[in-house]
Amino acid sequence: MKYLVTGSAGFIGFSLCQRLLENWHEVVGIDNMNSYYDQGLKQSRLDILEQYSHFRFIHLDITDYEKIIVLCTQEDFDRVIHLAAQAGVRYSLKNPFAYADSNLNGHLAILEGCRKAKIKHLVYASSSAVYGMTDQTPFNQNIPTDHPVSLYAATKKSNELMAHSYSYLYQLPTTGLRFFSVYGPWGRPDMALFKFTKAILANEPIDIYNNGNLSRDFTFIDDIVEGVIRISDIIPPMNLKNRLPASTSSSEYYRLYNIGNGQPVQLIDFIAVLESLLGKQAIKNFLPMQPGDVYTTCADTEDFFSVTGYRPQVSIEKGVKAFVEWYQSYYELVSNL
C-alpha cells in the first residue's frame, strides 16, 4: 500500500517508516526538521530511510495547510499515519504557541487534507497525557479526560475532538492512539531514558522528580509500531458498536485506543535497570513534583487487544538493553566522524 507518514524523521515516525519499508510498502514521509532537539539525530534517521527506493521525503511543515491539502489530493494514499506534533510536557510551559501551531493547526490541516482526498483511514497519535491526574487505574478510554494538567495534554485531547467532528460530519474514518511512555533505540533526547543514559555515562547528576515516587507505563517502540500497523488495517466502521464503550465509538467512523504495557514501573526501578546495564550508579538529584507531571500512568488495552489480537510484549530489561546498545553504538560512530 501507499502510506503518508507525518513526522517521519521523528522517533516513532522513523521506526514506523522503516518497518513499512521493510514490508515493501511505498512511503511518503514529511517532516519540518525543526530544532526542538538535535537535528543531526533526525538527519541520521532520515539517511537510513532514504536508502530505500520506495521511500520519498518531503521537507514540509504540517501547518502549511495549502501544501498539505495539495499533497493529500494529488497522491493516492491508502493510509495516512499522522505522528507529527510538538512534543514534550515541560516545553509547553515555556513555548505554548508552538503547541497551538503544530498540534492544533497542523492537525486540522491533516484532517482537511484527508477529507478532501477521501482517505480510507487516518490514524493519528494521541497521548496518555489526556488522562491527567485521574486516580482511576488502569486508564480506560471510557473514563473522563476533561481535566488535562498541561497544554500538551490539552492539545492532544483537542486532536481527538477534532477528529471526532470530521468522522461524524464527513464520514472520515479516524483512529486515535493514546501512546504510553514510548522508549527505545533512536529515541528523543528530551525523554527520560535518553537523558539518564547521557548523564550517567558523563558522571553528571540526573533529576528525579517527586523524589522518585512516580511510575510510568513504559512501552517499547517495536510494540508501538506493531500496534500502529495492525490498527491501520482495521478501518471504522466495524461491527463492534455493542462491545466498545460509548466514548470510543460515539461515531461509527471514529475509534480511540490505548497502546501501553499495562504494567507501570516505578521510576526508581527503571533507573536501577539502566544502572545495571551501564555498570554505573547514577548521581541522583531528587526534586519536587513538576508542573504538568502526573504521578502514574497505566494503560487498559483490552479494547485494543480485542480488535488486533496484540499486546505489547517487550520487557523493561530487554527494551532498556536495546536502547543502551543503540546509544553506545550511535554515539561512538558520531564521535568518530
| pLDDT (tens digit per residue) in 296-312 | 999 999 999 999 999 99
DSSP codes of every residue in 164-175: HHHHHHH---EE
What mean pLDDT do residues 163-175 have?
95
DSSP codes of every residue in 307-329: HH-------HHHHHHHHHHHHHH
| pLDDT number for residue 243 | 47
Question: Quick check: 226 and 209 in contact, CB under 8 A?
Answer: no
Pairwise pLDDT comparison (72 vs 251), residue with the higher score = 72
- When pLDDT is cut at 50, 70 and 90, the band that residue 246 belongs to is very low
| pLDDT number for residue 66 | 97
Judge whether 310 counts as a catalytic residue.
Answer: no
Q: Is the pLDDT of residue 334 over 80?
A: no
| pLDDT number for residue 135 | 81
Q: Minimum mean pLDDT among 38-42, 60-64, 86-90, 332-336: which range?
A: 332-336
Three cell numbers at 309?
Answer: 489480537
Q: What is the pTM of this model?
A: 0.94
Q: Minimum mean pLDDT among 161-170, 248-257, 326-335: which range?
A: 248-257
| pLDDT number for residue 245 | 47
Q: Helix or strand or coil: residue 58?
A: strand
Cα–Cα distances in Å, from 24 out to 48, 216, 281?
15, 34, 43
The span from the CA of 182 to the CA of 194, in Å, is 12
Residues near 153 by Cβ (< 8 Å), separated by ≥ 6? Answer: 89, 127, 129, 130, 132, 292
The span from the CA of 100 to the CA of 79, in Å, is 25
The span from the CA of 110 to the CA of 133, in Å, is 29
Q: Minimum mean pLDDT among 21-25, 138-142, 157-161, 163-167: which range?
A: 138-142
The span from the CA of 85 to the CA of 98, in Å, is 9
CA dihedral of residues 15, 21, 27, 30 (deg, nearest 10):
30
pLDDT in tens, 149-161: 999 999 999 999 9
The span from the CA of 232 to the CA of 307, in Å, is 11
Q: Minimum mean pLDDT among 190-194, 247-251, 311-315, 316-320: which range?
A: 247-251
Q: Is the pLDDT of residue 195 over 90?
A: yes
Question: Quick check: 82 and 6 in contact, CB under 8 A?
Answer: yes
Which has the closest alpha carbon to 184: 5, 16, 3, 7?
16
Q: Minimum mean pLDDT among 64-68, 93-97, 267-271: which range?
A: 93-97
Q: Minimum mean pLDDT among 20-34, 116-130, 242-256: which range?
A: 242-256
What mean pLDDT do residues 217-233 have?
97
- Identify the DSSP state of 103: I
Please calculate the CA angle 324-322-37 and round it to the nearest 5 degrees.
60
Residues near 54 by Cβ (< 8 Å), separated by ≥ 6? Answer: 21, 24, 25, 26, 27
Three cell numbers at 316?
Answer: 523493561
Three cell numbers at 151?
Answer: 497544554
What mean pLDDT do residues 197-209 have?
96
Sign of CA pseudo-dihedral 310, 311, 314, 319 = positive
The span from the CA of 316 to the CA of 170, in Å, is 42
Q: Minimum mean pLDDT among 58-67, 269-278, 286-295: which range?
A: 286-295
pLDDT in tens, 115-137: 999 999 999 999 999 999 888 88
Which entry of 3, 152, 253, 327 is annotated as an active-site residue?
152
